[in-house]
Amino acid sequence: MIGRLLAAAAIASAPLATQVAARAASNGTSCANIAALTIPNITIRSSTAVAAGPFTPPGASNALTLPAFCRVEATARPTSDSDIHFEVWIPPAEAWNGKLEGVGNGGYSGAIGYAAMAAGLRRGYAVVSTDTGHAGDDMKFGQGHPEKVIDWAYRSIHVMTDAAKLVVRDAQGRFADRAYFVGCSSGGHQALSEAQRYPDDYDGIIAGDPANNRIRQTFAFLYSWAATHTPDGKPILPAPKLALLTKSAIDACDALDGLKDGIIDDPRRCHFDPAKLACKGSAEDASCLTPPQVDAARKMYEGVKNPRTGEPIFTGWPRGSEGFGESAIQSWRQYVIDPMEPMRVGFFRYFLFHDPNWDYRTIDLDRDLAFAEQKLPFMAAVEKDLTPFKKRGGKLLMYTGWADPVVPPQDTVAYYDAVAKTMGGLDKTREFYRFFLAPGMGHCSGGPGPNQFDMLTALEQWVEKGVAPERITASHSTNGKVDRTRPLCLYPQVARWKGTGSTDDAVNFACVTEAPNAPVRRTTGGGGRE
């Protein structure tokens, strides 16, 4: 308290910039001298002051426009086979918000997330990102390098976080007040892994569209590829048929949520059967599906089961995710249809069987899954007991798109439900872990539903002010112009139109509790939140 009073007095009596600069000069290390910092197993390769303006990251073709920062490039070697590159970007003391943000990766990407770092830096954060210990998206890096697989799976994020805290302390003369982690897709996986494995690393964590059930998801990619390709590897469902499926599913299920708005609010309510599109007679055209196409679509919706026990191995993909946009990532194309062989087949070849010639047609979904879960349990982040994270006061926000064609949202829902059961129910879980589903949103972004929102501000409010988010406003834009806003509701609540006002304005929606298969209840008049 005394410190705070003194600081207030000092700010009142001196211009802010002078005051902060004086503190920085007395306590922090100049950017160039940070390279002299010695941390076990860490090599600081360079520390360079970067002036405000355009900055082109390594490997990028376009420059980012950034405020001034100190760029620290470093390598971590927690094992003799490790080669984890990471960067810490630190704002000057007068621009620093006093916090550290770790940012996540995508796919198996061995690349530092410069764009995400830039976003954090612009908000005043010191930011850190890693290449996860290898370069490039190819999974060959794991062949003969089990420690590198561990670095990718969970270790690199922890190591970069530990080191970044010390680097920031050195630069600013004090530790960051808070540390947050923000990631989507693999970054969402990393986010949950941090909460599960290293609860002390972060005060607040955002997990978007988390690919945390990694082993089973990888088996599902393989199964789904086989289900959607002919024996000689040709795709059964071409892109126009994917778009046809989405359009037909929306036509069939849009109104089930009580509002015809082009969005399937909850695909679990939707039981659209692709057989409805079966071609009449033998002639195939753009408006119908052949019997193999019907069969392939059904298998995509149904998911993969253990052939011996019939137990589900992994959920299918939701209706509405088939092909809702022009790009491959806005459809089943990128991860299932377009690849020449099953996506992430390298998992089996290089991480699991150590056989680069392994033939995916020899998969045994029963025996091989058991083997994978025994050999590589660290590849997944599915621990349901988050007591250590809750106890240390951590806050976790999770979101996902109900039309995600990459990570099926049903699996994310199942994980949250399982955590809630383990942690003593929904109320006790919500004290530290809140989940928001975005109807009609694709993988981390895009889609017909509102898909842009500021989760980090919500997390800051929760961690720093104790204000837990109840609803988060999301927007949808066309050609850069917002044309719809909606609340994302605290799971398991859903957004329902109040009955008056524009259905494109979030204020006209209430978040209500509804069982997924119960009849839709429309709220009327004001309020109505439950």
Q: Which of 317, 321, 139, 310 is nearest to 227 (CA)?
A: 317
Q: Is 514 an interacting residue with respect to Ca ion (CB under 5 A)?
A: no
* Residue number, 62 or 500, with CB nearest to Ca ion: 500
Stretch that binds Ca ion, among 89-97, 251-259, 344-352, 412-420 (CB under 5 A): 251-259
Stretch that binds Ca ion, among 3-11, 235-243, 249-257, 449-457 (CB under 5 A): 249-257
Number of Cβ atoms within 10 Å of the Cβ of 512: 18
What residues from 120 to 139 belong to the interface with Ca ion (CB under 5 A)?
Answer: none
**Binding characters for Ca ion, 281-320, by CB under 5 A (x = yes):** ----------------------------------------
User: What stretch of H or E contains 2?
Assistant: helix 2-13
**Binding characters for Ca ion, 369-398, by CB under 5 A (x = yes):** ------------------------------
Does residue 229 carry a catalytic annotation?
A: no
Give min distance, CB of 159 to Ca ion, in A. Answer: 45
3-state secondary structure of 203: coil
Q: Is 254 an interacting residue with respect to Ca ion (CB under 5 A)?
A: yes
Question: Amino acid identity, residue 86?
Answer: F
* Residue number, 201 or 254, with CB nearest to Ca ion: 254
Tell me how far apart the alpha carbons of residues 241 and 274 are, in angstroms, rounded to a whole number: 11
The per-residue DSSP string of 206-238 comes to: EEES---SHHHHHHHHHHHHHHTB-TTS-BSS-
Q: Is 257 an interacting residue with respect to Ca ion (CB under 5 A)?
A: yes
Q: Which of 203, 404, 411, 476 is catalytic?
A: 404
Q: Which of 145, 189, 443, 476 is catalytic?
A: 443
* Residue number, 254 or 322, with CB nearest to Ca ion: 254
Query: To the nearest 5 percent, what fractions of the chain are helix, strand and coil?
Result: 40, 20, 40
Strands 509-513 and 493-497 turn out to be: antiparallel
* Residue number, 206 or 256, with CB nearest to Ca ion: 256
The per-residue DSSP string of 433-496 comes to: EEEEEETT--SSS-SSS--B--HHHHHHHHHHH----SEEEEEEEETTEEEEEEEEEBTTEEEE
Does residue 30 carry a catalytic annotation?
A: no
* Residue number, 194 or 261, with CB nearest to Ca ion: 261
Tell me how far apart the alpha carbons of residues 170 and 165 are, in angstroms, rounded to a whole number: 9
367-372 LR contacts (CB < 8 Å, sep 24+):
368/219, 369/215, 369/216, 369/219, 369/306, 369/313, 372/215, 372/219
Give min distance, CB of 261 to Ca ion, in A. Answer: 5
* Residue number, 173 or 262, with CB nearest to Ca ion: 262
Give min distance, CB of 254 to Ca ion, in A. Answer: 4
Stretch that binds Ca ion, among 12-20, 23-31, 252-260, 267-275 (CB under 5 A): 252-260
Give min distance, CB of 243 to Ca ion, in A. Answer: 18
Does residue 251 carry a catalytic annotation?
A: no
39 φ, ψ (degrees, to nearest 5): -125, 135
Q: Which of 47, 129, 185, 248 is catalytic?
A: 185
* Residue number, 74 or 245, with CB nearest to Ca ion: 245
* Residue number, 170 or 254, with CB nearest to Ca ion: 254
Q: Which of 117, 90, 101, 102 is nearest to 173 (CA)?
A: 90
Length of the chain: 530
3-state secondary structure of 21: helix
Give min distance, CB of 257 to Ca ion, in A. Answer: 4
Q: Which of 128, 171, 182, 263 binds Ca ion (CB under 5 A)?
A: 263
Give me the torsion for CA of 356, 362, 367, 371, rounded to 10°: 10
Give min distance, CB of 321 to Ca ion, in A. Answer: 15
Give min distance, CB of 440 to Ca ion, in A. Answer: 8
Give min distance, CB of 446 to Ca ion, in A. Answer: 18
Structure token digits, residue 169: 């302390």
* CB-based contact 453:473 (threshold 8 Å): yes
Stretch that binds Ca ion, among 66-74, 204-212, 258-266, 485-493 (CB under 5 A): 258-266
- Report H helices in 38-185: 114-122, 146-150, 156-172
Count of residues touching Ca ion (by CB under 5 A): 5
Binding site residues, Ca ion, CB under 5 A? 254, 257, 259, 261, 263
Active site residues: 185, 404, 443
